[in-house]
């Protein structure tokens, strides 16, 4: 699989960036979690930075989280200060509390705005490069469709450095939200055009994988009729498949008194919570125009700006993405 190859290359000092796109609930975060769980055992250090669906989120939030992770996993505050070296004044712009921890940090250089940003980006990339000298890194940027402009520019900047570093960066994003005017559209196009990122598109599950999902949730073999019905209702979206399953379980419609699946789960009985129906309608309508909606389009594409989906109003999401469990930034 592509991520396996990229990890092996990163391990050999030739890092890169992978961008995992797919609709809401298709399994992007789950895939990264699985990879993160796997590579932790292979001596990679995993550092996670998330983007949040908050209007006035502080800039560079995922990088702040990643740096917090580096700090948390440092052998000592002094070791962290040493790692920062001359880049400390720039890093302290993102983590102001460093100035209280290390009063020796000098004030940042005063530079014209454009130069200042470049200086900041170089400093942060240098710190990441130095962090990777002790063990290879897996950097996760979850939900990049919510990233602020600065974060996206910094990811682009970092992507240019990665080929010389033992660092694999993996970003996830909802491709159904990235219309041509979306903030992520241009960086995504640039990165792919310059071959600085590899794209991975996650698709809905085929019926056999829905069967496996139901087997995982129930601990028993699901009857084919149930698999077919859940697959049809969810259209292979694992999040919705889980929701349909949970709903039916809560309604007491799945299992007989013996705790086993009822033989006859009547297909007409299958329904989903009302909120999920309207949520899924948003997802499906957004993805129904695929091709035109997916971003990036073929490089020459210049289509009309599609409307955004109604996913935001979803009320059946059990949790915002930000609360998905990802391995915590692992103390070393
Ligand atoms: N292949 C799969 N098999 C079983 N369960 C899955 C699979 N893919 C995803 N899931 C489950 O579906 C749910 C949604 O997955 P996940 O959170 O990874 O989606 P996502 O693509 O990151 O969505 P979002 O865009 O909202 O962040 C999770 O509970 C996850 O465990
Ligand atoms: Mg996710």
Please tell me the total count of domains within the chain. Answer: 1
Average pLDDT for 128-150: 97
Residue 87 Cβ inside 6 Å of ligand 1? The answer reads no
Q: Which of 22, 26, 29, 30 to mutate to test the pocket of ligand 1 (most atoms within 8 A of CB)?
A: 30
pLDDT tens profile 180-226: 999 999 999 999 999 999 999 999 999 999 999 999 999 999 999 99
Between 102-111, 150-159, 229-238, 260-269, the lowest mean confidence (pLDDT) is in 260-269
Among 109, 111, 106, smallest CA distance to 81 is for 106
Q: Cα–Cα distance between 39 and 206 in angstroms, integer?
A: 27
User: Is 169 within a domain?
Assistant: yes
Average pLDDT for 279-286: 42
For residue 9, report the distance from its CA to the centre of ligand 1, in Å. 27
Environment class of 225 (CB within 10 Å of its CB; exposed 0-12, middle 13-18, buried 19+): middle
For residue 326, report the distance from its CA to the centre of ligand 1, in Å. 12
Q: Cα–Cα distance between 68 and 312 in angstroms, integer?
A: 29
- Residue 37 pLDDT exceeds 70: yes
Do the Cβ atoms of 197 and 19 come closer than 8 Å?
Answer: yes
User: Is 282 within a domain?
Assistant: no
- Residue 291 pLDDT exceeds 70: no
Q: Which of 34, 227, 238, 325 to mutate to test the pocket of ligand 1 (most atoms within 8 A of CB)?
A: 238
Protein residue closest via CA to atom 12 of ligand 1: 239
State the greatest distance between any 2 C-alpha atoms of the chain, in Å, as a whole number: 73
Higher-pLDDT residue of 82, 39: 82
Residue 296 Cβ inside 6 Å of ligand 1? The answer reads no
Q: Cα–Cα distance between 139 and 281 in angstroms, integer?
A: 33
For residue 107, report the distance from its CA to the centre of ligand 2, in Å. 38
Average pLDDT for 235-240: 97
Average pLDDT for 164-190: 97
For residue 170, report the distance from its CA to the centre of ligand 2, in Å. 12
Average pLDDT for 223-245: 94
User: Is 171 within a domain?
Assistant: yes
User: Is 81 within a domain?
Assistant: yes
CATH number, domain of 89, equals 3.40.50.300
Residue 176 Cβ inside 6 Å of ligand 1? The answer reads no
Confidence of residue 282 (pLDDT cuts 50, 70, 90): very low
* Predicted pLDDT of residue 323: 31
User: Is 44 within a domain?
Assistant: yes
Angstrom distances, CA of residue 325 to CA of 61, 177, 267, 312, 320: 17, 22, 33, 20, 11
For residue 14, report the distance from its CA to the centre of ligand 1, in Å. 29
Give the mean pLDDT of the chain.
83
Protein residue closest via CA to atom 24 of ligand 1: 24
User: Is 245 within a domain?
Assistant: no
Average pLDDT for 296-324: 30
Confidence of residue 312 (pLDDT cuts 50, 70, 90): very low
User: Is 271 within a domain?
Assistant: no
Residue 29 Cβ inside 6 Å of ligand 1? The answer reads yes
Domain ranges, residue 27: 2-203
Residue 27 Cβ inside 6 Å of ligand 1? The answer reads yes
Residue 254 Cβ inside 6 Å of ligand 1? The answer reads no
pLDDT tens profile 249-275: 988 888 888 889 987 765 555 555 544
* Predicted pLDDT of residue 28: 98
pLDDT tens profile 40-91: 767 899 999 999 998 888 999 999 999 999 999 999 999 999 999 999 999 9
In this structure, what token pair is assigned to residue 114?
């454009």
* Predicted pLDDT of residue 61: 97
Confidence of residue 329 (pLDDT cuts 50, 70, 90): low
* Predicted pLDDT of residue 39: 86
Give alpha helix (H) positions in the chain: 2-11, 28-40, 61-73, 77-84, 88-94, 97-101, 113-131, 149-161, 185-193, 207-218, 224-234, 238-250, 274-288
User: Is 173 within a domain?
Assistant: yes
For residue 127, report the distance from its CA to the centre of ligand 2, in Å. 27
């Amino acid at each position: 699989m592509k991520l396996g190859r990229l990890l092996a290359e990163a391990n050999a000092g030739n890092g890169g960036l992978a961008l995992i796109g797919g609709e809401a609930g298709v399994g992007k975060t789950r895939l990264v979690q699985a990879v993160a769980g796997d590579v932790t055992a292979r001596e990679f250090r995993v550092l996670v930075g998330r983007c949040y669906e908050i209007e006035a989120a502080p800039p560079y939030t995922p990088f702040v989280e990643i740096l917090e992770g580096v700090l948390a996993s440092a052998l000592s505050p002094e070791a962290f200060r040493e790692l920062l070296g001359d880049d400390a004044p720039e890093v302290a712009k993102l983590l102001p509390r460093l100035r209280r921890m290390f009063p020796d940090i000098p004030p940042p250089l005063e530079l014209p705005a454009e130069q200042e940003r470049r200086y900041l980006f170089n400093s942060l990339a240098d710190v990441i490069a130095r962090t990777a000298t002790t063990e290879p890194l897996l950097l996760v940027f979850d939900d990049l469709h919510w990233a602020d402009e600065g974060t996206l520019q910094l990811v682009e900047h970092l992507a240019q450095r990665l080929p010389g570093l033992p660092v694999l960066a993996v970003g996830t994003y909802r491709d159904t939200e990235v219309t041509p005017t979306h903030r992520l559209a241009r960086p995504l196009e640039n990165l792919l055009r310059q071959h600085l990122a590899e794209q991975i598109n996650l698709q809905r599950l085929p019926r056999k994988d829905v069967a496996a999902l139901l087997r995982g949730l129930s601990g028993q073999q699901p009857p084919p009729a149930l698999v077919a019905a859940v697959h049809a209702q969810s259209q292979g979206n694992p999040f919705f498949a889980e929701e349909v399953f949970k709903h039916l379980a809560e309604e007491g419609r799945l299992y007989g008194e013996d705790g086993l699946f009822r033989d006859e789960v009547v297909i007409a009985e299958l329904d989903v919570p009302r909120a999920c129906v309207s949520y899924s309608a948003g997802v499906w309508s957004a993805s129904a125009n695929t091709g035109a909606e997916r971003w990036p389009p073929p490089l020459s594409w210049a289509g009309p700006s599609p409307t955004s989906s109604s996913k935001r109003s979803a009320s059946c999401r059990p949790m915002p993405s930000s609360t998905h469990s990802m391995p915590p930034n692992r103390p070393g």
